Structure 1
Amino acid sequence: MPSKTLAYAYNGTTTSLNTGLPRNKMNEYTNVQFHESQGAALVPAKEALFGRARKAKDRIHWMFPPDKDERVESLLTWIRAVSYSLGTFGLHRFLQSRERGALIANADYRIAGGKNEPAFDWLTFDQLQKTRDRIMQESAAFYDPTAQAIVFVFLPSKSGNSVAMWRQKINVPNNMRLMLQAEVSLALAALRREEDYVVHVDEYVAACFR
């Protein structure tokens, strides 16, 4: 990673997250809500995530320790603290899109009036395929969306040309899966076959099998 990106990714702030429960508590019908950025949180990193001028390995970097930046460390801690509700939220987004995908959050983005809580976006496999990053694509292609939710956390460089990226896998609560069993069965039946998930990388394009 270029030195400017490294310096920015490691440049923490004093911002901390509220590590309590999400602002809207989940009722018995799984009415759990999180802030969603509607794509706004991805704009500062659009070139880093989806640019074609540079290879994915030069745009998306996976090796940074999360404890080197307080924004990232706080967000990952918050995700673990609300994993029950966030796992349910991930299941809902899967059921809504009827496609495998992942939640993604910009560690440096907050919605105005959002009580300093993160904002998430849902990217389907087809959208993640456009990153040409193998880890992001395989994470979404070969997980059980009824048992886990995939969450990506990223921190953009100051230029927006690169991002540091982290991944969390959180469990979907068993009682939520059972409560939504009919909807889950319909969504699973609509999924493409595993061999039809094709991972696109810069060097070549290949079907990826477990």
Structure 2
Amino acid sequence: MHQQHSPYMEARFEESLGAGLAPARLAFYNSKDRKARERIHWLFNPNKDERVSTLLAWIQEVSPSLGAFGLNKFLQGRERGALFVNAEYRPAHSPEQPAFDWLTYDQIHPTFDRILQESIAYYDVHTQVLVFVFLLSKSGNSMAMWRRKLILPNNLRLTFGAQITQAKAGLRKQYPIYLDE
């Protein structure tokens, strides 16, 4: 785990480097045994779990800086993706902060989840950054998922418009949606 500094704004957030995602491997990718709709649940009330509601409120509070962090990830990789955060995971060296992972479309399509794939495939990279918060079931075989669309601040869009446009021009024209239904 380490802090990634965004050159676009003074935005520092913890990255889990996969540690926050590791316990969710079965819930994300176990398509041989269970369909996506049985593994990834979208309609749970976030207020039923304090970790989730607190994390979602914090994301809203820091959304301009977190948006800059996500924009930095997009511009570095030049591929559609989103920030993911496990509501249960905190790095040992920084237990007060959530830790994020950037997953690209190619890393998400094997989930066979329509909402994840369509969200990442079709969001407007010029104006938004996506953040997905998940909470695993006790067994680790399924998860509840919440999506937040962060609007990029105007100053970022103006300052980095040329870089965003250039990166956007290199994106695929179509992103197939893979389903297990």
**Shorter chain as normaliser: what TM range?**
over 0.9
Name structure 1 gaps, 5 residues minimum: 1-22, 204-210
Taking the aligned partners of 1:40 and 1:84, their CA distance within structure 2 comes to: 25
Name structure 2 gaps, 5 residues minimum: none
Displacement of 1:31: 3.8
Give the equivalent residue in structure 2 for 1:45: 24
* Contact 2:133–2:145 (CA under 8 A) maintained in structure 1: yes
Give the equivalent residue in structure 1 for 2:13: 34
Taking the aligned partners of 1:175 and 1:36, their CA distance within structure 2 comes to: 25
Taking the aligned partners of 1:25 and 1:125, their CA distance within structure 2 comes to: 23
Give the equivalent residue in structure 2 for 1:199: 177
Max radius of gyration: which structure?
1
Taking the aligned partners of 2:19 and 2:96, their CA distance within structure 1 comes to: 16
Give the equivalent residue in structure 2 for 1:80: 60
Q: Which amino acid aligns with 2:28?
A: L
TM-score for both structures, normalised by structure 2 = 0.93
Taking the aligned partners of 1:77 and 1:24, their CA distance within structure 2 comes to: 22
Displacement of 1:189: 1.2
Give the equivalent residue in structure 1 for 2:150: 170
Give the equivalent residue in structure 2 for 1:145: 125
Give the equivalent residue in structure 2 for 1:187: 167
Q: Which amino acid aligns with 1:202?
A: D
Give the equivalent residue in structure 1 for 2:113: 133
Question: CA separation of 1:187/1:26 partners in 2, compared to 1, >3 Å: closer, same or farther?
Answer: closer
Give the equivalent residue in structure 2 for 1:66: 46
Q: 1:7-22 maps to which residues of 2 (within 5 A)?
A: none
TM-align CA RMSD: 1.7
Displacement of 1:115: 4.4
Question: CA separation of 1:168/1:97 partners in 2, compared to 1, >3 Å: closer, same or farther?
Answer: same
Question: CA separation of 1:60/1:24 partners in 2, compared to 1, >3 Å: closer, same or farther?
Answer: closer
Displacement of 1:191: 0.6
Q: Percent identity?
A: 56
Q: 1:88-103 maps to which residues of 2 (within 5 A)?
A: 88-103=68-83
Taking the aligned partners of 2:158 and 2:179, their CA distance within structure 1 comes to: 37
Taking the aligned partners of 1:165 and 1:119, their CA distance within structure 2 comes to: 16
* Contact 2:82–2:103 (CA under 8 A) maintained in structure 1: yes
Question: CA separation of 1:184/1:66 partners in 2, compared to 1, >3 Å: closer, same or farther?
Answer: same
Deviations 1:71-103 (A, max 9, x none): 000000000000010111111111111111111
Question: CA separation of 1:42/1:26 partners in 2, compared to 1, >3 Å: closer, same or farther?
Answer: closer
